[in-house]
Structure 1
Amino acid sequence: MLDYARARPGEAIDRIVVTVTFMRLDRRPPITWSPLPPDAVVQPARRMTVATYRALYDRVGQPWLWWLRRMMPDDMLARLLADPATAIHVLTLNGVEVGFFELDATPWPDINLSYFGLTPEAIGQGIGFSLLGAAIERVFAGPVRGMTVNTCTADHPRALPNYLRAGFRVTRQVNEVWDIPCRLGFTIPDRLRPSAG
């Protein structure tokens, strides 16, 4: 566990158990991606502030228990956002931010898809797979060895099937126990609690 993500001593936590699936894509898949709607635009986010990033991260990730970046100190997050190895692309629909993907070139010559998702109001409109295609096309536009991603059982149920549909293959799966501070205000699905199942 990352030091900054540890709960404070004596702090109330929600303990959850997830299965994390690690995947990779070795080459651009032979897929013709459905176009995004005409009023949808994917653009690199230049000089994104910590506050702007946190707001979008929270809107997209709240239902899926995205918590690690919420625990990351502002100065650490600011360094990450300024790092040339980090590339964030934001999806807007009718001028409103409704999703993003974050690429990490630190494991070069692989590129990792660190975060990917849509806001709740954008889910179900058929744009998620097209956004995934935009991320894949962006990665394979350069001289890379491959693309990696991981998803877990806390994510949207279509996440894993969509990655597989896009051509990713599973490299390994691990079970993890997360202690999420209650102060973050998540609603924990019963299926993820240790007593479930």
Structure 2
Amino acid sequence: MAHPSDYARPQQGEPVEHVQVTVVFLRMLEPPLGRPVAWPAGVSVEKASLSVAEYRQIYDAVGHEWLWWMRRLMPDDMLAEHLSRATLDIRLLKVNGRIAGFYELDASYWPYVNLNYFGLTPEFIGQGLGGTFLRHAVLAAFEGAVGLRGLLVNTCSADHPRALPGYLRAGFVEYRREVEQWDIPTRLGLAVPEHLRG
């Protein structure tokens, strides 16, 4: 099965930004202990079935500042096929009916589940929602998953600086780091921080 990032390639000869990132790979092999997630009034998490346009809008809202670009290069038909897979579980975080974030669990890596994407929209960062939302994602991955060997996620030096500490606090353990070179098409309009320019 082709991984979605296989299709995230610039067109030949198009202008690109050369980006160097350190990618940190993490895993959680046992479900965490503790209580189920409890949300305050007005906050909820909903299972979502999204159209390509809806997905693109949420993906960009959450990831624009953190250089989320690979899914933006996926053609609509390939993204639609990805979104239709029974192994995919997308949940939306809502605050008083407004989308505040999303996560995407992918069981096509079975017996592991991959947390493909996780994040909040900019206006809801720093309001104490991220840690609880991440715990929700972890519990959802392990819930009823007989035979699951672990939950995987990766983050990188382009992500929010609190991403890696947040994953470690949630119980993930780092097991590998790699330096990657990205060629991000300038047509995407993403602002590349100076410290990431390769």
Give the alignment's TM-score, normalised by structure 2. 0.93
2:40 paired residue among 37, 40, 59:
37
The residue aligned with 1:159 is 163
**Unpaired segments of 5 or more residues in structure 2?**
none
SS at match of 1:106: helix
Shift of 1:32: 4.1
Give the aligned length: 193
Tell me the alpha carbon deviations over residues 133-179 of structure 1, each in whole angstroms, 9 at most, x when there is no partner: 00011011122211000000000001100110111111100000000
SS at match of 2:10: coil
How far apart, in 2, do the equivalents of 1:20 and 1:3 lie? 17
SS at match of 1:157: coil
Q: Do the aligned partners of residues 17 and 130 (structure 1) sit closer, same or farther apart at CA in structure 2, a change above 3 Å counting?
A: same
The residue aligned with 2:121 is 119
The residue aligned with 2:29 is 26
Shift of 1:33: 6.5
How far apart, in 2, do the equivalents of 1:72 and 1:15 lie? 19
SS at match of 2:109: coil
2:182 paired residue among 164, 178, 182:
178
Q: Do the aligned partners of residues 3 and 84 (structure 1) sit closer, same or farther apart at CA in structure 2, a change above 3 Å counting?
A: closer
How far apart, in 2, do the equivalents of 1:163 and 1:32 lie? 18
Please identify, of 31-40 and 78-87, the stretch whose mean Cα deviation from structure 2 is larger: 31-40
How far apart, in 2, do the equivalents of 1:129 and 1:90 lie? 15
- % same residue: 51
The residue aligned with 1:137 is 139
Q: Is the 8 A contact 2:10 2:73 kept in 1?
A: no
Give the alignment's TM-score, normalised by structure 1. 0.94
Q: Is the 8 A contact 1:36 1:127 kept in 2?
A: no
Q: Is the 8 A contact 1:91 1:98 kept in 2?
A: yes
Equivalent residue runs for 1:62-77 within 5 Å? 62-77=64-79
Please identify, of 165-174 and 4-13, the stretch whose mean Cα deviation from structure 2 is larger: 4-13
How far apart, in 2, do the equivalents of 1:37 and 1:15 lie? 43
SS at match of 2:108: coil
Q: Do the aligned partners of residues 167 and 51 (structure 1) sit closer, same or farther apart at CA in structure 2, a change above 3 Å counting?
A: same
User: Runs ≥4 in structure 1, deviation > 6 angstroms?
Assistant: none
1:101 aligns with 2:103: yes
SS at match of 1:84: coil
